[in-house]
Amino acid sequence: MAYAKTDLFDSKLSTAAVLFKALAHPARLAILQYLAETKVCITGDISDELPLSRTTVTQHLKELKNAGLIQGHVDGVKVNYCLDPKKICELGKAFQELYGIINVPGNFNCK
């Protein structure tokens, strides 16, 4: 029986990898930052706020939604986009856990 290489790792690492991969583009980080700063669900065109085409923003929104970091709810012909608080908390915990393992006392002098 063949296994995907990702199946060889525990579910926590696999879940963290999906979340971290979704952050691996500055446009996606900008979208998350924009949604966090506005503190409301955005109805309308997020591409008006970013130096990217509507098509490109749509692709990045899709990646963020697939990772679960944002929610998109259809409202007529528009979509309301919001951060998913549960997934954002999960992302923070995954990062803190990984950082805690990597940066054991004495490994790095982070300031």
pLDDT digits (tens, 9 = 90+) for 72-99: 888 888 888 999 999 999 999 999 998 8
What pLDDT is attached to residue 111?
A: 66
For the cut 80, the answer to whether the pLDDT of residue 8 exceeds it is no
Q: What is the pTM of this model?
A: 0.83
Closest CA to 49 of 60, 76, 68, 77: 60
At the top level of CATH, the class of 12-102 is mainly alpha
Domain boundaries, the chain: 12-102
Whole-number mean pLDDT of the chain? 87
| 3-state class (DSSP) for residue 58 | helix
When pLDDT is cut at 50, 70 and 90, the band that residue 42 belongs to is confident
What pLDDT is attached to residue 26?
A: 96
- Are 64 and 28 in contact, with CB atoms under 8 Å apart? yes
The beta strand positions in the chain, using DSSP E, are: 42-43, 70-75, 78-83
